[in-house]
Structure 1
Amino acid sequence: MTTGRASAREVIALVADDFGQFPDPPGGERSSLPDGPLGWPGYDASRERAARRTGESESVVCGTASVQGTRAVLIAFEFGFLGGSLGERTGDRLEAAYTYAREHRLPIVPLVATGGSRMQEGMLALTQLQRVARQSALTREAGLPQIAVLRDPTTGGGWATLGAGADVVLALPDAQVGFAGSRVRPPDADPAAYTARAQVGAGAADALVSPAELRDVLGGWLRLLTDQSLREPATDTSVTATTTSVTDTSASDASTATDAPATSVAAAPVPAALGVCDLPRTGWEAVRRARAPERPRARAYLDAYFTHRRAISGDRCGGVDPDGMLCGFGLHQGRTVAYAAQTGAATRPAGYRTATRLIRLADRLGIPVLTLVDTPGAANDAEAERQGAGAAIAELFGVVATARTPITTLVIGEGGSGGALALAAPGRTWATPDSYFSVIAPESAAAILKRSPAETEATAGQLRIRPQDLAELGVIRITQAR
């Protein structure tokens, strides 16, 4: 298959090792009404033609499958059946599929290709979106992942429920994706805005995946998000945590640093420091080390920590921050760990919202989280203010404070003010020897205090921002190299 415009059976064969279709759920008496619930002239004939053409009796095919060894419930849309539209019988099948997934603790994978709700069934068709939304919400509350694949086309209510409402959204590169279908858009609308590529760029989808790679990528995501070893205690002897006048807290106490409910998930181990081993002599030396171009950055830490990883992208509010925040899930010592990592740049509002989205998902699925702090601070330009920087940071502070799953934080470079602290776990924050954490940058502190720029270095010392200073203050613990 080289295009997103494929049949339900073709896309199932593309991703699944095997497939067992569900029987039709009860409710068939409704479909026996002449020309449907509205008595729409010719509706019966249209359904009969669609059935002969596609070999299907409805616009979705649902069942269980194995995707590279992970069992899942698949929902595959048949666009050839009345444009993959949703009607009452479609809603019956979707509700039955979600219910089965919850009863059997299986992830659910919608393979979406739909033009929207079925006009021949009027408002009864449109209200199926409410049924789908409820089933998706119940599945989310049950702690089961939903991974959507956007095919061509994914428009209307199918996009706004099964697609955009999933935890992870993958898209085939040539797919048309948008709430408005091609026949109902404004005449001057830019067609490029209604593409899978545009949705990834706007933070509404996580990644473009070619058909040839889809089985591998989907299988990898299913393994990561359905890890059965999540509650197994992890051991890691690769780092030594040292403190100065700080009482250490065990991993099992991670959730008690806040008032969040206790969890049995073992915390993510602290990564080893990859940079210099000795502690800085002065505050200004700590700043210079953290700002050094050669210092290891987030990608180096993630490469060393994970055997492989998959990224999520976007805040689902129209924004992405690829230069400031890296988020996703990876395997560490055979165990899934979520990560949110600052890259050394100023973090934009979309970056904070993406991290919030990640931690909420990990919390729901019972996956421990690793955060890497490295930013001079939150982006403070006018556009960041218009994008809601304060609200985005506040939301992240809140989700970190209330997460039930344990969060482990390592400061690997600059810890600039609240824009860095928002990502740090209370009671479970470590720092490398080539990092610092400060209430504000020394230059800004000197300016606010109306000091000469020549006093910046002395101000850095007074702020007590070295790792050993922070350990004495009880703010962090220090991690050493292997």
Structure 2
Amino acid sequence: MADGLTAREAIALVATHFEEAPRHPAVGVGVGVGVGVGVGESGDGPLDWAGYGESRARAVGRTGEEESVVWGAAEIGGVRAVLVSFEFRFLGGSLGRRTGDLLEAAYAYARTERLPMVSLIATGGSRMQEGMVALGQLQRVARASALTRAAGLPQLAVLRDPATGGGWATLGAGADVVLALPGAQIGFAGSRVRPPDADPSAYTAEGQLAAGHIDAIVRPGDLRSTLSRWLTLLTRGGAEPVPPPRALDGVGTAATGWEAVQRARAAGRPRAGAYLDAYFDERLEIHGDRCGGTDPGVTCGFGLREGRAVAYAAQLGTATRPAGYRTAARLIRLADRLGVPVLTLVDTPGAANDADAERAGAGAAIADVFAAMASVRVPVTTLVIGEGGSGGALALAAPGNTWVTPDSYFSVIAPELAAAILKRAPADAPATADQLRLRPEELVELGVVRGIVTRRA
């Protein structure tokens, strides 16, 4: 049965301290008095479902809980948060009217106290015995989540086993950061309602990670420390822009445009991973575009630098795919909502332009990043650390606050492609590179970038 954790065992797994919210005065354990009963309803709920009241009473007796969720104020590694935990043994952790009451109250408390929200989810979905009344709770939860999002408060979800149906499609998939236990069953469709020929791996934590729908799989013993780190990273923003990283290579000025291009393409040149490691004291990644895609050529996440949280989106030197742009846009909008400054590292020959990329919506994905950068309210700092190829690179560049390293270039298009467009011979690419004025010094002269970063002495 599921992951075997009770609601309170899951709480103990992550919280250093937990203070449960006061229990609802109208909730009792006897048949005809129990949870989920509205005005004018019998103990068998809004549908007068025969035996429902007895089922609830048995669930109360079996679990000691009054509903399928428990919530309260918690400390997780020293960070205060509102914590919600599902009790799967209570009618499969299903969501009914009373569950909606409790979840709405938890979200409201988070907004009143300005606390992040953490949900430990183990549910089979909406409660059948309450019919459409139960299903309607998803709208309540979605609205409460949207209000909390608009208030600039982070929401984190831990997907236990199982996390299916409306619980996954609201508290789970709607969270800012989504973690999962290894092997957890995750999906909108529960195991009893899937097509008989469905690939079971698609409904696992591992399958959802591969598809870009969750951020990480975390072992139970690591949950507390991981949540503590995430809560720290998501709540320590600031209004001041961050400085660009220092250069990691001591190369001098490139004599020609073609030399600048060759330097940026050199295999041994420092890449984004080295820059991020040097810049941050610690960092955690978000993963995937939440649309079924991932791009190994883009890394996004949040890092801690001198006690301050900074969001980052970095290209890793390959042609950026639509999923990479969508992940970056997700990161930028999340950072903006939470008041966390952003650092972007540009390093790409350009956007991927193969047929698969076009079918995956390359244009729309790039446009989405441009829109996110154009509307962001937090400060954004950009450093071009290698190739800056065309609009696929410019999409991640901060207007007015872009810097370059000595071993980089930024161009309207790669010199070889520019030569081809101008109907020149391939041998003319080096001369074309000079005409494009793409060297770091020339970019400063053109006013395209603010300056060239140097290596720390």
Please indicate, yes or no, whether the TM-score normalized by the shorter chain is above 0.5. Answer: yes
Is 1:211 the counterpart of 2:220? The answer is: yes
Deviations 1:131-152 (A, max 9, x none): 0000000000000000000000
Distance 1:207 1:56 in 2: 30
For 1:318, the aligned partner's letter is G
For 1:51, the aligned partner's letter is V
Partner of 2:168: 159
Deviations 1:8-42 (A, max 9, x none): 01110000001111113476575272211111011
**Corresponding residue to 2:42 among 30, 33, 44:** 33
Q: Is the 8 A contact 1:373 1:409 kept in 2?
A: yes
Distance 1:122 1:24 in 2: 25
What do you get for the CA RMSD once the two structures are aligned? 1.3
Distance 1:54 1:175 in 2: 22
Deviations 1:337-362 (A, max 9, x none): 00000000110000000000000000
For 1:355, the aligned partner's letter is A
SS of 1:39's partner is coil
Sequence identity (%): 70
The 5 Å alignment of 1:301-450 reads: 301-322=275-296, 324-450=297-423
Distance 2:351 2:25 in 1: 54
TM-score between both structures, scaled by the size of structure 2: 0.96
Is 1:455 the counterpart of 2:454? The answer is: no
Partner of 1:480: 454
Q: Displacement of 1:379 after TM fit?
A: 0.5
- Distance of aligned partners of 1:423 and 1:112 in 2 relative to their CA distance in 1, 3 Å threshold: same
Of structures 1 and 2, the one scoring higher in RCO (CA 8 A, sep 6+) is 1
For 1:217, the aligned partner's letter is T
Distance 1:4 1:474 in 2: 58
SS of 1:391's partner is helix
Q: Displacement of 1:481 after TM fit?
A: 1.0
For 2:454, the aligned partner's letter is Q
Q: Displacement of 1:48 after TM fit?
A: 1.2
Q: Displacement of 1:4 after TM fit?
A: 3.1
**Corresponding residue to 1:124 among 133, 145, 164:** 133
Q: Which runs of 5+ in 2 are unaligned?
A: 28-32
Q: Is the 8 A contact 1:27 1:92 kept in 2?
A: no
**Corresponding residue to 2:438 among 454, 460, 465:** 465
**Corresponding residue to 1:51 among 60, 69, 79:** 60
The 5 Å alignment of 1:65-104 reads: 65-104=74-113
For 1:365, the aligned partner's letter is L
SS of 2:278's partner is helix
Partner of 1:255: none
Q: Is the 8 A contact 1:25 1:96 kept in 2?
A: no
SS of 1:75's partner is strand
Q: Which runs of 5+ in 1 are unaligned?
A: 232-264
Distance 1:266 1:27 in 2: 49
For 1:12, the aligned partner's letter is I
Partner of 2:241: 267
For these two proteins, the number of residue pairs brought into alignment is 445
Distance 1:146 1:280 in 2: 47
**Corresponding residue to 1:287 among 261, 283, 293:** 261
Is 1:299 the counterpart of 2:273? The answer is: yes
SS of 1:110's partner is strand
Q: Displacement of 1:276 after TM fit?
A: 2.8
TM-score between both structures, scaled by the size of structure 1: 0.91
Q: Displacement of 1:277 after TM fit?
A: 3.6
